[in-house]
Every structure is written in C-alpha cells, then in structure tokens.
C-alpha cells in the first residue's frame, strides 16, 4: 500500500446550484510526500477542488480518493475517516481558533475523535512542538500575533495526524520573518502538502511541483521552476511574478 497515491482525482466535475460550472473533468494524482502548489486566477475552481478532498462538496461526477479510499459524502463513517486524513488550514487562522487557550484549540479535533488523558496531551504537545509554539500552550489565541495564530492553526490540523495538509494562501498577511518561519516549518514536515496560493515565489520556494487550474480545468502540471519561467503561460492565466523576482 505504500505506493498508493495520497490523492487521486479522476474526471471530477462540479456545478453549483445556480448552474455555475466550477470544474470540468479534473484529473490529478499526488504521491505521498509530494509538495504541490495549486495555482490559478480567482474563480478558477481552486477552492471548489479543495472542498472535494474531504467531502465538503459532494462528488457529482468522477471520483476522489484519499490513500485509495473513496470520498463518499453519503457514507458518514467513511467521511469521518477521510476528514481526519485531509487537514485544511484556512487563510484566516481566526476561522479555526475559537477555544480559550492554544492547547484547547489544538486538542479539540483529537478529543472529538476519542483521544483522552495522556494520549491527548502527547498529541497536543507534539503538534505545538512541530510549529514552535509549545511555550504558548496556555496562552489565549487572541493574544498572539497573526503569524503565531497561523502556526497554531497548522498545529490544530497536524494534531489530527492527516495524510494531506492543505494550506489556503499560507503566506498572506505575514511579515517577512513570519513568512520564513512558516516556510521552515512546512519544509520540516514529512507529509503530503497541497498549497493553494497566488504567491508564486512562495510556491517556488516550497513546492517542487505546481499545477495551474484555470476555468475549471488543469492547464499545466510540472516542475514549479519550469512553469514559472513560462511567461506566456502565466500571463494567459492571470498569474504574475513580482517585479524583479529572480530564480537565482
């Protein structure tokens, strides 16, 4: 089973109730341990695609498999297991942090999966150690900086021991030091990562592979450096590197 992909999407199509077609037959395979940037303009279908990974959006056409297991929105037990395997870190950490202390926020998911006592304490401490926030375990989240809250949000997901870590615009609103600290954390993780981002230099720094989703289809899939060097490709899908950016 070790060579089963972390994520396998086959002919995935999806339309919203108002008739807006967001995805048109998407095919995507991500192997265990890969770090993949999901790029594309606003309205490309990136969020819709991510929301299929843990069954938030039911699959209308095609299929999604996580470590070989079919994502089936009608199977509640299976869906619970899938959602423990796919951890999504939202763009705004305040959407994930709602408990009185950092430790309680990180414990929330594992507690609801049945962990108690020393086993729960261990998971919380391990997750906070991974993001360098163990010393803040008793601190109220709203007393932390934005960058610190984002790291705690990552810890809340890592505490669930997911197969895939999905990050939505992880570098947004971070100062340079916080941006670098988060990059160091993400590089240290032995986990499959899908990073949804408009920050092309961050994609280049962290993800060897990039996928461009545009108009509900995948229009490019390859090494990040090659994709970002294709000015015509980027321009045609409303993607731009910062002025003065160099790959050296």
Give the pLDDT confidence score for residue 1 in this predicted structure.
44
* Sequence-ordered alpha helix ranges (H) in the chain: 46-53, 76-85, 102-112, 117-130, 146-158, 176-188, 200-206, 224-228, 231-236
**Do 164 and 109 touch, CB atoms closer than 8 A?**
no
Give the pLDDT confidence score for residue 3 in this predicted structure.
84
**Do 27 and 9 touch, CB atoms closer than 8 A?**
yes
78 sits in the region (left: phi over 0; alpha: psi -120 to 50; else beta) called alpha
Please name every residue paired with 115 in a beta bridge, in sequence order, or none if there are none. Answer: none
Q: What is the pLDDT along the chain (248 residues), one digit of tens a residue?
A: 468 999 999 999 999 999 899 999 999 999 999 999 999 998 899 999 999 998 889 898 999 999 999 998 888 888 888 988 999 999 999 999 999 999 999 999 999 989 999 999 999 999 999 999 999 999 999 999 999 999 999 999 999 999 999 999 999 999 999 999 999 999 999 999 999 999 999 999 999 999 999 999 999 999 999 999 999 999 999 999 998 887 76
Spans of all domains in the chain: 7-92+163-236
**Do 67 and 6 touch, CB atoms closer than 8 A?**
yes
Q: What are phi and psi of 43, to 5 degrees?
A: 80, 10
Q: Does domain 7-92+163-236 sit in CATH 3.10.400.10? A: no
Q: What are phi and psi of 244, to 5 degrees?
A: 85, 0
Please name every residue paired with 9 in a beta bridge, in sequence order, or none if there are none. Answer: 28, 64
Contacts for 139 with CB less than 8 Å, ≥ 6 apart = 101, 102
Q: What are phi and psi of 184, to 5 degrees?
A: -60, -40
């Amino acid at each position: 089973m070790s060579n089963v992909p972390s994520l396998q999407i086959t002919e995935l199509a999806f339309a919203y109730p108002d008739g807006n077609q967001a995805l048109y037959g998407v095919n995507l395979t991500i192997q265990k341990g890969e770090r993949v940037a999901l790029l594309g303009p606003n309205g490309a279908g990136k969020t819709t695609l991510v929301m299929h990974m843990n069954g938030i959006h039911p699959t209308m056409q095609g299929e999604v498999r996580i470590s070989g297991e079919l994502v089936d929105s009608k199977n509640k037990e299976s869906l619970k297991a899938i959602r423990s395997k796919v951890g999504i870190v939202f763009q705004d950490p305040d959407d994930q942090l709602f408990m009185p202390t950092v430790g309680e926020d990180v414990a929330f998911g594992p507690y609801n999966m049945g962990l108690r006592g020393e086993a729960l304490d261990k998971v919380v401490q391990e997750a906070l150690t991974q993001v360098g926030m163990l010393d803040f375990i008793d601190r109220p989240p709203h007393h932390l900086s934005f960058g610190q809250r984002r790291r705690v949000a990552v810890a809340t997901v890592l505490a669930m021991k997911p197969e895939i870590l999905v990050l939505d615009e992880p570098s947004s609103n971070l100062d340079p030091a916080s941006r670098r600290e988060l990059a160091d954390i993400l590089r240290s993780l032995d986990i499959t990562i899908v990073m949804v981002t408009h920050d092309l230099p961050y994609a280049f720094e962290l993800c060897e592979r990039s996928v461009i989703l545009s108009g509900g289809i995948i229009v490019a899939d390859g090494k990040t450096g090659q994709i970002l060097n294709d000015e015509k490709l980027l321009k045609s899908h409303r993607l731009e590197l910062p002025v003065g950016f160099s790959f050296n």
